[in-house]
Structure 1
Amino acid sequence: MIGRLRGILLEKQPPEVLLEVSGVGYEIQLPMSSFYPLPEIGQEAIIYTHFVVREDAQLLYGFADKHERAMFRELIKVNGVGPKLALAILSGMSANQFVQCIHHDALSALVKLPGVGKKTAERLLVEMKDRLKNWVGSDLLTPESEKIVFENSVIKDNAKQEATSALVALGYKPAVAEKVIQQVYQDGMDCELLIRRSLKSMV
């Protein structure tokens, strides 16, 4: 299994990146909580990965640290939660926030996530509460992804389109994605900040 990659970021198109490692380009899908802290294109990045082999595809999922990956692995053990839904959950809230939702039975917060209906949210609360008892006091409660500092960057004209595509890829309906982006967009916002604000407004 491919568990960790270190290389140069060639492309960043949320929620996917292209990472060059020793001349090989790896396409990796990340939750937005792990996408935000990534360095700029052309710089070196270290990504912890989870490798999935299916009959029709081989997929790499990436994470900023081992704790986010560990949460992803716990999520996909839940009946009805696949990798795509797990990414959507960790894009809508950090691992730390998810732990708090489980501990406080925050059903209403979970059902706001894309692809999470009431039954899935209830299943998450029941199955994850017992599993997450072992997480209390661990570094998962203070992941590095909570310590994000945004720097000024070049604003692209297609920031709205890129943000919409990212939200759709995470499971939101196009109409919903476009509507929330229009609501939160402010002049000067880049794609990553626009996605972050959009996701926050829906939780």
Structure 2
Amino acid sequence: MIHYIKGELAHISENEIVIENNGIGYLIEVPLSVLPALPPKNEEVKIYTELYVREDMLKLFGFLTEEDLQIFRMLITVSGIGPKGALAILSLMTPEQLRFAILANDVDSISAAKGIGKKTASKLVIELQDRLKAKIGSGNESAVTVGSREVSPRSEAVEALVGLGYSVAEATAALKKVSEENSLEEMIKLALRYLSL
């Protein structure tokens, strides 16, 4: 099992990167959300990976954090969601936003991911909601909460907007137009202004 690969970022394309390590170039498929967070080409990067094995292929999927990797592994346990579907969901939502969506039964936000229909999104919510609640209840937060990391104001704002009845996708889209330099209260007010247009 390859847990992570650390090396020079040799190539970046729409949904794939190549990391060169000891003369070997590892082709890794990544969610779109990874791309803006990557260092410039030819600089060192560390990517957590999942090796997906099928009869006709071996494929590496990569993530910037172990939390993203754990969420990916959890998603591919849902029947009807393969690696491509899991990547599409993680391209659209952060793990935190996905947890909010699952716990809030927000099927619309999840089904906004490419290739994920409402039926599959509903199945995902049903299959993962109890697992998330059980892990939160047991205090096992590694794959379901941000753990010791501080929750960002943007995430708190998303949660507040979801509480007001907006979907995670709507809240996230509105907050993308708002600077994080604003206070939490200002972020929510500005997002509400965008949502009312």
Q: Quick check: TM above 0.5? A: yes
Separation in 1, partners of 2:135, 2:5: 25
Partner of 1:3: 3
Separation in 1, partners of 2:86, 2:111: 13
Q: Residue 135 of structure 1: CA displacement?
A: 4.8
Q: Secondary structure, in 3 states, of the residue corresponding to 2:56?
A: coil
Separation in 2, partners of 1:118, 1:102: 13
- What one-letter code is carried by the residue in structure 2 that aligns with 1:23? G
Separation in 1, partners of 2:46, 2:135: 24
Partner of 1:101: 101
Partner of 1:180: none
1:125 aligns with 2:118: no
The correspondence of residues 42-191 of structure 1 with structure 2, limited to 5 A, is 42-136=42-136, 138=141, 141-142=145-146
With CA pairs under 8 Å and 6+ residues apart, which has the higher RCO, 1 or 2? 1
Partner of 1:193: none
Separation in 1, partners of 2:56, 2:42: 31
| Deviations 1:114-140 (CA, angstroms, capped at 9, x unpaired) | 111111011011001012225537365
Q: Secondary structure, in 3 states, of the residue corresponding to 1:36?
A: helix
Q: Which runs of 5+ in 2 are unaligned?
A: 153-197
| Deviations 1:132-157 (CA, angstroms, capped at 9, x unpaired) | 2255373654498x97xxxxxxxxxx
After TM superposition, the score normalised by the length of structure 1 is: 0.67
Separation in 2, partners of 1:16, 1:132: 30
1:15 aligns with 2:23: no
Q: Which runs of 5+ in 1 are unaligned?
A: 148-203
CA 1:127–1:63 in 2, change beyond 3 Å: closer, same or farther?
Answer: same
- Is contact 1:35-1:64 (8 Å) kept? no
CA 1:30–1:122 in 2, change beyond 3 Å: closer, same or farther?
Answer: same
Partner of 2:167: none
Q: Secondary structure, in 3 states, of the residue corresponding to 1:88?
A: helix
- What one-letter code is carried by the residue in structure 2 that aligns with 1:55? E
Separation in 2, partners of 1:116, 1:22: 38
Separation in 2, partners of 1:111, 1:61: 21
- What one-letter code is carried by the residue in structure 2 that aligns with 1:79? S
After TM superposition, the score normalised by the length of structure 2 is: 0.69
Separation in 2, partners of 1:97, 1:53: 28
